[in-house]
Amino acid sequence: MLISRGVRRDSQLIMFFRSDGKYAVFEGSKIRRILPDEQSLWGVLRKVIKSVKGLGRPNVHWGVRVFESDFRGLLRRAGAKLRFFIFPRGGNLRGLKLINEVSLVIPFFTPYTEEEARCLTEEGYKPIDGLLSKLHPDQVIAYLQLTLDRGVKGLGIT
C-alpha cells in the first residue's frame, strides 16, 4: 500500500485478528497523515491493536477502522472480481488475465485453519503460489503489487 511519499489511493489492506474475531481495514483512498516510515506506521498499528483488544475506538485513524466479524464476513467485505489466496500447493500467476480489481489473502506467519481454507474456496478465492508461500508477507505484497501494476498498465487491462 505504501509508496515513497504516502499511500496508494487505489488499494486497501485488511488485517484479520483471528483470536479476537476482528479485522482492521486500511482504506487507501481515505488514509491521511501516514508516512512510509516505521514510527508513523507503528503509531497507527498500536492504535489498531488497542482497538482490537477493546481498549480504543473502532475509528482508530483517518481511513483506518476496526470491525467485528468472522473470517467469512471479512472475505465477503474484501471481495473483488479476481480473488486469490497464497497457498503452498496453489497455481502460478503466469498466464492469468489480470484486472485492476484484485483481492488477495496472505497468511501472516500462521497457516490457514481448515475452516479458513474451506471458506476461501467457498467464497471463490483461487489458490496461487509460484513460491510466494516461501516469502515474508511484505515481500509478497511488494512482488504482487509490481506484477499487478505491470499487468494492468502494460497490457491495457481494466
Mark whether 146 and 95 lie in a shared domain.
Answer: yes
Q: Residue 108: its pLDDT value, please?
A: 74
What pLDDT is stored for residue 158 in this prediction? 39
Q: Are residues 104 and 41 in the same domain?
A: no
How many structural domains is the chain composed of? 2
Q: Which amino acid is at 44?
A: V
CATH number of the domain at 148, please: 3.40.1280.10
Co-location of 28 and 61 in the same domain: yes
Q: What is the pLDDT of residue 157?
A: 39
Both 55 and 102 in one domain: the answer is no
pLDDT reported for residue 115: 93
DSSP at 135: S
The reply to whether 157 and 84 lie within a common domain is yes
Residues 156 and 84 reside in one and the same domain: yes
Residue span of the structural domain in which 85 resides: 78-158
pLDDT at 137: 76
pLDDT given at position 65: 92
Q: What is the mean pLDDT of each run of 10 residues along the chain (158 residues)?
A: 56 84 84 70 87 91 90 84 81 65 77 90 86 78 72 44
CB 44 within 8 A of CB 56: no
Q: Residues 32, 94: one domain? A: no
DSSP of 55-82: SS-SEEETTEEEEE--HHHHHHHH--SE
pLDDT at 67: 93
Here the cell at position 138 is 511484505
Per-residue confidence (pLDDT) for residue 156, from 0 to 100: 41
Same domain assignment for residues 104 and 34? no
CA angle, residues 26, 115, 113, in degrees to nearest 5: 75
